[in-house]
Amino acid sequence: MRAIRRGDAGLAVAEIRAILTHLGLLTPQPANGTARGDDADARFDEVTERAVRAFQQARGLSVDGLVGAETWRALDAARWWLGARNLYHAVPTPLVGEDIRILQERLLEMGYDVGRADGSYGAGTARAVAQFQREVGLTPDGACGPQTLFALRRLGRKVVGGRPQWLRESEQLRSSGPALVGKRVVIDPGHGGADPGVVVRDGPLRWTEADLAWDLATRLEGRLAAAGVRVHLTRGPGAAAPLPDRARAQFANDLGADLFISIHVDTSTNPAAEGVATYHFGTGNGVTSTVGERLAGLVQREIVARTGMRDCHTHAKTWELLQSTRMPAVRVDVGYLTSPADRTRLTDPRFRDTAVEAIVAAVQRMYFPLEADVPTGTFDVTTLRARARVS
């Protein structure tokens, strides 16, 4: 869909404003006396843009003030409150909404493993609801109607020591052992094909995000494969259209990947904007992938320590690519192609090698037990390659 932005008007803008008003981010507009109210004349003004930005910030979306496909899906989901409709597992397209996320949060507090509280009523949520229904004497159909909601509201939390998905992620990491040999990693080079991503011309040279992401991804693929990792890429170098985010996440889920690493570069209208940032799944209200957050922190610190880039920190986001993956997933934006300083780095193959070494070091450190970890920037990734050759 074309992004809706400041200056636009019409019924779509009216619907956006209605949802933002329902969420308390806008004050209601008085009716103008016409039969249709102000729907047809609703304008996407500065106040609406500020409300959209506030919504995006609160929901872990990219804060740009535009209502594109991802922001619209989040707005559409936010209109629902728990109890406003019956919830059930729909195939092939599951129900989504803020009411489902609240339900998942409630089940997690009570010790039922729904996986991530992602606002999608999938098979895991249906199983958790059915388990709860069975334990309280209701028909275990996996659907959440008035009786199930009443039972949920009258019972208190019973989890002590951590939520089920936190414990599961941590235990899977611990039990997999410190060696990288045999682990499966999906690398996602951003954009590609007809979608070049960020494009910058520097004299006679033309640099694109898709090409740089592909180069970084293939370098990372080689380093990890040399350490015995089974590596898969979400796209090739050709002209085919890139898969949408949900399809790339499903690709990793179907493979049963241990980790998912998405590689991008950033852009800004301000040429002074520079630095590296890393993202993991999180809703901004305490719901997060703990292992994904740890991996994001390691990647961020290793790249900053080894390259000297500006530290733009790690951030929790609800981007579909991070939300739909069932394994720890991170996205790293390795600098701003629109920054002269970062562009000089990104277009230098030696820098790209250093950035890739930092990511490999972060992946290995994530599997080290705490007592065997090493200071940031000190792990020698060539030892992984040496061990792989000896074996």
For the stretch 206-263, pLDDT in tens is 999 999 999 999 999 999 999 999 999 999 987 677 788 889 999 999 999 999 999 9
Does the pLDDT at position 84 exceed 60?
A: yes
Residue type, 275: G
Are 141 and 125 in contact, with CB atoms under 8 Å apart?
A: no
Contact in structure between 355 and 308 (CB atoms under 8 Å): no
**CA 33/CA 385 separation, integer angstroms:** 73
Q: Which residues contact 112 (CB under 8 A, 6 or more apart)?
A: 128, 129, 131, 132, 164
Class level of CATH domain 98-160: mainly alpha
Which pLDDT value is given to residue 43? 92
Q: Is the peptide bond before 28 cis (omega within 30 degrees of 0)?
A: no
317, 280 Cβ separation under 8 angstroms: yes
pTM of the complete model: 0.79
3-state helix, strand, coil in the chain (%, to 5): 45, 15, 40
Q: Which residues contact 364 (CB under 8 A, 6 or more apart)?
A: 178, 180, 227, 379, 381, 384
Distance CA 377, CA 362 (A): 9
Q: Output the pLDDT for position 391.
A: 41
Report the topology of domain 11-78. Answer: Muramoyl-pentapeptide Carboxypeptidase; domain 1 (1.10.101)
The pLDDT > 70 percentage for the chain reads 90
For residue 38, is pLDDT > 80?
no
**Helix axis angle, 98-109 relative to 69-78, nearest 10°?**
70
* Per-residue pLDDT, 287: 61
In the sheet that 311-317 helps form, which strands lie side by side, from edge to edge?
230-233, 184-189, 259-266, 329-336, 276-281, 311-317
Equal CATH topology for 11-78 and 98-160: yes
Cβ(142)–Cβ(129) below 8 Å: yes
Q: Which pLDDT value is given to residue 244?
A: 87
* Confidence at residue 160, expressed as pLDDT on a 0 to 100 scale: 45
- pLDDT over 50 at 20, yes or no: yes
Domain spans, the chain? 11-78, 98-160, 167-390
Tell me if 11 sits within 8 A of 39, measured CB to CB. Answer: yes
Pick from 80, 84, 72: nearest CA to 15: 72
pLDDT at residue number 390 = 40
Encode pLDDT of 318-374 as tens digits: 888 998 898 899 999 999 999 999 999 999 999 999 999 999 999 999 999 888 899
Can you tell me the mean pLDDT for 275-298?
85
Backbone dihedral angles phi then psi of residue 311, each to the nearest 5 degrees = -85, 105
| DSSP class of 327 | S
CB 265 within 8 A of CB 83: no
Nearest-5° Cα angle at 121, 115 to 127: 60
The class level of CATH for 167-390 reads: alpha beta
Q: Is the dihedral of CA 238, 295, 275, 57 positive or negative?
A: positive
**Phi, psi at 205, each rounded to 5°:** -95, 145
Of the candidates 301, 296, 312, 303, the one whose C-alpha atom is nearest the C-alpha of residue 353 is: 303
Residue 146 has pLDDT above 50, yes or no: yes
CA distance 30 to 384: 66
